[in-house]
Structure 1
Amino acid sequence: MENTYGARRAAQHFGLAWLAGIALAVAAVVMSVTQDLPIREPDGVLPSYVTFPGVLLLTILIDVVPRVVHRASRSRAWSRPGLRGVFREVMAERWPASHWWFALTGLAAWYLSYAAFRNVKSMAPFVNEHLFDDDLESFDKFLFAGHEPAAVLHAWLGEGVAAHLLSGVYILWIGLVPVSIAIALVWTRHTNAGAWYVTAVALDWCFGAAIYVMVPTLGPIYSDPGTFAGLPHTYVSDLQETLWTDRVAVMADPRGADTLQTIAAFASLHVGIMITICLIAQLIGLPRWIRTCSWVFLVLTILSTVYLGWHFAADVLGGLAMGSFSVWVAGLATGNRSGWRVRLRSLTEEEALASGGHPGALVSRSAPLPDHPAAD
């Protein structure tokens, strides 16, 4: 009964995320057939179908191990049979079948969206060869009274320490996405909130892929490299060079390149997913320090993408609009919004029972802190 209920609830939670992933997968297959392009695993060194479950498993261990240690220390059950019993007890509380269904279904839906997105993005230049960089540059100069926004930031922030700091921000964002997905699937016991976030990110991939096909761009660092010639060498510099090398190889021989091209500027998915994180954190009422850090990191992300030449200012505006729209649509699909009003659904009594009889303090807790059972 619990397995049936958990599977049914997981399907309801991630229905739109699966639709987004399937739509992207169909688009990738159609583009592959019509353009005679290969479909590839998106991450070459260590495949994402290994890294993402690995991140999920690590997060589960972080969720479980502190609780096992805490309970074992309180009951002094340090023998092997005692630890085994405590571990089984914690796993029964934290990881009943219903939550396994939730986490694995959400991860699979998100991975399908991600892998298909990366392939569609790689194929976009073959489907639409026109580049819109000149148009976006003109729009940027209109917004900044004839100036390029990157040049303005270089003048304001300098071209030394700021480049290294903002390079660190950009690289940190890369790890933020899989970690945030793992948190939404593992640590939260408010499954409606977790499903809202995962679905919103899947929609970010879906909308982003569609825009990349309709409005292909390179970004300022590639269309106007002279503006960034004064910046010091950073890890981002190496990354930008690697991505350009990959693009040249793919455009020259898409089947022989054995990689994907990942250059596309409009709209900024860095900004889109960060505004998604900020809005979800705000709407579900996460602690103030998390909300504040999210908004600060959004500002730093915007600065880094423009300063380092990844994006035009127009890309930032597109990313903000796309991420906000994804949150709204995902909220409607997961039952957490009614029109423009938030109505984050609480766990029903039936859901709580199907979660293995979680104590109330565990049902709502999202931080992986050791439990303090009333019986202790």
Structure 2
Amino acid sequence: MPALLTSAAPTTGREDRRWYRAYGLQVVLAIGLFGAALLVARIQHLPVRDPDDSIVGPSYVRLPLIALTCFLLDVVVRCLRGGGPVGWRSRLAAVVRERWQVRRVRLVLIGMGSWYVAYVGFRNLKSYVPFVRPDMMDDHLLRLDRMLAFGHDPATVLHDLLGTGLAAHLMSLTYVAWILFLTLSLLIALFWTSNLDIACWYVSAVAVNWVLGVAVYYLVPSTGPIYARPELFADLPDTMVTHIARSWLTDRADMLADPFGTDALQTIAAFASLHVSVMVTAWLIARMIDLRPVFVRWGLALFLVLNILATVYLGWHYVVDVFGGMAIGVAAVWLSAWGTGNQHRLPTLLPSASARRRRW
């Protein structure tokens, strides 16, 4: 992602000596998520599906095409920047030798493969939540939200403060843009990040977000304010998000009525907000690697704030979901840092002995 393109820490030889540790967490989480999905599907007699099968084809066809496109974009652009049509073949070969060494190829293959397996497991496990935990906890979360807002509904407070016209479209655009951000951030981490240790850290951190996120989906099953209290959002104009909300409700009804009679996956789950958790993860890693230029860090911080506002404004999540997402995002950074050998990049929480002596 842009936040991982340039950092103060250069690439070192450590990655090549301990590649199995750098990628091990990704692989374990992917296998664990997919295995858990298979287990729940067998117990509950539910189907396991490709979550993003589309007119372009299933993910196992689409992902190699994306990888090939990114590879060609990387080498062709660098080749063209090196000069005119004369000698382009030698320049192309030189770019491939320089950019696509064993370490980079390994990162792309393991990273994209583990991402796909983990994502399939995550989406299917999310789809099974209402079968395993049919009693939703929205009433409890609604009461807690009103307590935090001193007796008011947080979404209504934001509607009164920001209005329900232009703000609704901005919040909708922000929420949908997160999907594009997640995809691009993973591709940039895999194909264009100069430090492969950091790339492994970020990709693994996203997988940890999914693992922790789906776990709390089962601990605190809920649908979100837009489904539990739709009257609070009746004054909002039609946006991309309102159409998504209707289609997800239809998918949920179809899945609950006949799991094998529909190709859809149940996508509704509120606590906690993974939009917020992933943005917290991206922003924290950007700060910890001393990302340059600095305006990218500020852009990530702004996008995080906008996602927090959007997720409550549009009714996808409760305020407590935001706090839960923040906690997951922070935990994902720390757990993935230790799991990929990047713990030395974590900030020291306690002052060192020498710092304490200087203070005194």
- 1:25 corresponds in structure 2 to 34
**Distance verdict in 2 for CA 1:319–1:6, change over 3 Å:** closer
- 1:43 corresponds in structure 2 to 52
- 1:369 corresponds in structure 2 to none
Alpha-carbon distance between aligned partners in 2 of 1:9 and 1:183, rounded to the nearest angstrom: 22
Alpha-carbon distance between aligned partners in 1 of 2:64 and 2:171, rounded to the nearest angstrom: 29
2:337–2:346 contact (8 Å) kept in structure 1: no
Point out where structure 2 has 5 or more consecutive residues left out of the alignment: 1-13, 349-360
**Distance verdict in 2 for CA 1:214–1:282, change over 3 Å:** same
TM-fit CA distance, 1:6: 8.7
TM-fit CA distance, 1:98: 2.2
Report the 3-state secondary structure (helix = DSSP H, G, I; strand = E; otherwise coil) of the residue aligned with 2:83. Answer: helix
Alignment of 1:2-151 (within 5 A): 9-45=18-54, 46=56, 47-73=58-84, 78-79=85-86, 82-151=87-156
Report the 3-state secondary structure (helix = DSSP H, G, I; strand = E; otherwise coil) of the residue aligned with 1:341. Answer: coil
TM-fit CA distance, 1:333: 1.0
CA distances 1:145-164 after superposition (whole Å, capped 9, x unpaired): 01111000000000000001
Alignment of 1:292-371 (within 5 A): 292-338=298-344, 341=347
- 1:290 paired with 2:296, answer yes
TM-fit CA distance, 1:55: 3.4
2:289–2:345 contact (8 Å) kept in structure 1: no
TM-fit CA distance, 1:49: 2.9
TM normalised by structure 2 equals 0.88
Alpha-carbon distance between aligned partners in 1 of 2:69 and 2:339, rounded to the nearest angstrom: 29
CA distances 1:310-351 after superposition (whole Å, capped 9, x unpaired): 100011100000011010000111111159636xxxxxxxxx
**Distance verdict in 2 for CA 1:282–1:53, change over 3 Å:** farther
Report the 3-state secondary structure (helix = DSSP H, G, I; strand = E; otherwise coil) of the residue aligned with 1:259. Answer: coil
Letter in 1 for 2:77: P
Letter in 2 for 1:227: L
2:141–2:318 contact (8 Å) kept in structure 1: yes
- 2:353 corresponds in structure 1 to none
Letter in 2 for 1:48: S
- 1:246 corresponds in structure 2 to 251
- 2:268 corresponds in structure 1 to 263
Alpha-carbon distance between aligned partners in 1 of 2:149 and 2:64, rounded to the nearest angstrom: 44
CA distances 1:241-296 after superposition (whole Å, capped 9, x unpaired): 01110000000001111111100000001111111110111111112111000000
Report the 3-state secondary structure (helix = DSSP H, G, I; strand = E; otherwise coil) of the residue aligned with 1:38. Answer: coil
1:11–1:105 contact (8 Å) kept in structure 2: no
Letter in 2 for 1:29: L
**Distance verdict in 2 for CA 1:143–1:266, change over 3 Å:** same
Alignment of 1:124-203 (within 5 A): 124-203=129-208
Alpha-carbon distance between aligned partners in 1 of 2:176 and 2:27, rounded to the nearest angstrom: 28
- 2:279 corresponds in structure 1 to 274
CA distances 1:42-70 after superposition (whole Å, capped 9, x unpaired): 11314333444443333333322221011
Alpha-carbon distance between aligned partners in 2 of 1:87 and 1:271, rounded to the nearest angstrom: 41
**Distance verdict in 2 for CA 1:53–1:143, change over 3 Å:** farther
Report the 3-state secondary structure (helix = DSSP H, G, I; strand = E; otherwise coil) of the residue aligned with 1:44. Answer: coil
Deviation larger for 155-164 or 13-22: 13-22
TM normalised by structure 1 equals 0.85
- 1:227 paired with 2:238, answer no
Aligned positions, number: 332
Alpha-carbon distance between aligned partners in 1 of 2:345 and 2:289, rounded to the nearest angstrom: 16
Alpha-carbon distance between aligned partners in 2 of 1:14 and 1:132, rounded to the nearest angstrom: 37
- 1:349 corresponds in structure 2 to none
1:38–1:254 contact (8 Å) kept in structure 2: yes
Alpha-carbon distance between aligned partners in 1 of 2:139 and 2:219, rounded to the nearest angstrom: 15
TM-fit CA distance, 1:130: 1.4
Alpha-carbon distance between aligned partners in 2 of 1:50 and 1:269, rounded to the nearest angstrom: 26
CA distances 1:117-168 after superposition (whole Å, capped 9, x unpaired): 0000001111111101111111111111011110000000000000011111
Alpha-carbon distance between aligned partners in 2 of 1:8 and 1:123, rounded to the nearest angstrom: 40
1:42–1:119 contact (8 Å) kept in structure 2: yes
**Distance verdict in 2 for CA 1:95–1:339, change over 3 Å:** closer
1:163–1:232 contact (8 Å) kept in structure 2: yes
Letter in 1 for 2:325: G
Deviation larger for 38-47 or 274-283: 38-47
Letter in 2 for 1:72: G
Alpha-carbon distance between aligned partners in 1 of 2:123 and 2:220, rounded to the nearest angstrom: 16
Point out where structure 1 has 5 or more consecutive residues left out of the alignment: 343-376
